[in-house]
Amino acid sequence: MTDTLVPVKPVRLIINGEAVDAASGKTFTTVNPATEAPICAVAEAGAEDVDRAVKAARAAFESGPWPKLRPAERQRILWRLGDLIVAHGDELARLETLDNGKPIAESKNADLPMVYGCFHYFSGWVTKLSGETVPVNPSLFTYTLREPIGVLGAITPWNFPMIMVAWKTAPALAAGNTVVLKPAFETPLTAVRIGELALEAGLPPGVLNIVPGRGTVAGEALVQHPMVDKISFTGSTEVGRHILRKSADTLKKLTLELGGKSPNIVFADADPEAALRGAASGIFYGKGEVCAAGSRLLVEKSIHAEFVAKLAERARKLVPGDPLDPKTRLGALISEKQMTSVLGYVEAGVKEGARLVAGGQRQPVNGKGWFVQATVLDGVDNRMKVAQEEIFGPVLAVIPFDDAEDAVRKANDIPFGLAAGVWTRDVKKAHAVARALKAGTVWVNTYNLYDPAMPFGGYKSSGFGRDLGAECLRDVTQVKSVWMNLE
């Protein structure tokens, strides 16, 4: 594999506008999942560094220029950051692929446009955020001010490292907050690079601080810090629950984007080719390490056998490859631990009576890497472990259903509610099922579409609060009611 062009210099923390080592001097090594080889050393933030970063963010919020800048000026800086991300697109896409193992085609053509798209989109909101005048009584002047919350702590996962930086920071900064971001331990590189580009774009010191480190150390320190006003977290439901409990002590506001086990429902009247493509990309895109992955495929019984046969054929053709090769469509899982866990689920599914019709094995590329084949388990019952738990890998559980009512019942019979897909040519059925599904996003005759303008987030145990869209601006601002007596 072509592992050149990697940063040789150790990557440092970004605190108060400067690249710094950890106070302890500690570093950790970030690894390329496709080669199992180290990429570079990264400064490892401890509680002391998080404290320094939070204090810098606090000072930037209380007495720095950022919240007081004219909105048009804040807008220009965020737009410029979007432009710098475009200009450094090849470098960022490559770093993302090296650190995460995802195909370069995905980093470059899907992730990158979302990243700069977010900064461009939310820069537009800076000049449009406003309160209202409210007609309470002619003897009063009553209005609301929409204000930033203060210091936001962002904690992000490893599956979409640079997209998560954009989702968490672009709206928060647009609204005038300052941010301390802790990227996932496994994938710190693009977050730090975007932090550097933000300084180049003119973001004042302390407005965006990046502190790579361990969840249990740097993450905990951020959640417990009394000067942090809000935590925005994307990650596992388990850690989300833990953060919710820990936030009680300092009464932090929270946005939680958690796991999913999203149903992708194929009716007999669907366009068969489109549904097949959507079923496959719904689970295999991003190696299935996608919170909204269509990991439960519900197929109407009358087409089930034929549909699954074709899907299995498609899965067998989707072979893992070098993530840096532009033709590769299936990359490496993030870690050996994740690979072992995913393969364990396949085994558990077969033990519970599911039929393995494609994949199911590790398949190294050039003798290395945590690659797993595109896997399809058929004949799954919705009560099985492989139907109820998030696997977070390229493993599809196929569940047959009788009719729309049965499909909706099975789709909703799960604690998660992040997303869902519906494939049908019947418009009435599409709308009825979209309404009946308990999920934060429903895709009809498509899957895995995202845009900075469309809100994203979970129902039920998939979390609360929203990223993206005008909707998420409520989550990064607070409203002040002002009553003025005119008598």
Residues near ligand NAD, by CB under 6 A: 155-159, 182, 184-185, 215-216, 219-220, 223, 234-236, 239, 242-243, 257-260, 291, 390, 392, 418, 458, 462-463
Which parts of 205-271 are beta strand (E)? 208-210, 230-234, 253-257, 263-266
The Cα-based distances of 403 to 133, 273, 275, 441, 454 in angstroms read 50, 21, 17, 22, 30
Question: Is 289 known to be catalytic?
Answer: no
Closer Cβ to ligand NAD, 84 or 163, answer by number: 163
**Burial state string for 2-36 with b = 16 or more CB within 10 A and e = fewer than 16:** eeeebbeeebbbbbbbebbebbeebbeebbbbbbe
- Closest contact distance (angstroms) between CB of 267 and ligand NAD is 26
Distance CA 480, CA 246 (A): 27
From Mg ion, ligand NAD, none, interface partner of 99 (C-beta below 5 to 8 A by class): Mg ion
From Mg ion, ligand NAD, none, interface partner of 359 (C-beta below 5 to 8 A by class): none
As given in the structure block, the two tokens for residue 474 are 């409520």
Mark 7-46 with x for binding to Mg ion (rule: CB under 5 A) and - for no binding. Answer: -----------------------xx---------------
**Taking CB positions, which residue lies at the least distance from Mg ion?**
99
β partners of residue 231: 153, 254
Distance CA 33, CA 237 (A): 24
The Cα-based distances of 331 to 97, 367, 373 in angstroms read 9, 14, 10
Distance CA 480, CA 122 (A): 22
Check residue 96 for interaction with Mg ion (CB under 5 A): no
CB contact set of 37 (below 8 Å; sequence gap of 6+): 3, 31, 368
Q: Which of 186, 257, 289, 300 is catalytic?
A: 257
From Mg ion, ligand NAD, none, interface partner of 234 (C-beta below 5 to 8 A by class): ligand NAD
Closer Cβ to ligand NAD, 53 or 243, answer by number: 243
Check residue 462 for interaction with Mg ion (CB under 5 A): no
- Closest contact distance (angstroms) between CB of 97 and Mg ion is 10
From ligand NAD, Mg ion, none, interface partner of 322 (C-beta below 5 to 8 A by class): none
* Stretch near Mg ion under the rule CB under 5 A, chosen from 125-133, 136-144, 183-191, 450-458: 183-191
Cβ proximity of 170 and 124 under 8 Å: no
β partners of residue 153: 180, 231
Quick one: 83 exposed, middle or buried, by C-beta within 10 A (0-12, 13-18, 19+)? middle
- Closest contact distance (angstroms) between CB of 334 and Mg ion is 7
Closer Cβ to ligand NAD, 150 or 235, answer by number: 235
Per rule CB under 5 A, count of chain residues that contact Mg ion:
4
- Closest contact distance (angstroms) between CB of 293 and ligand NAD is 8
- Closest contact distance (angstroms) between CB of 68 and ligand NAD is 31
Residues listed for the chain: 487
- Closest contact distance (angstroms) between CB of 372 and Mg ion is 17
Binding residues vs Mg ion (CB under 5 A)? 30-31, 99, 186
Q: Which residues are catalytic?
A: 257
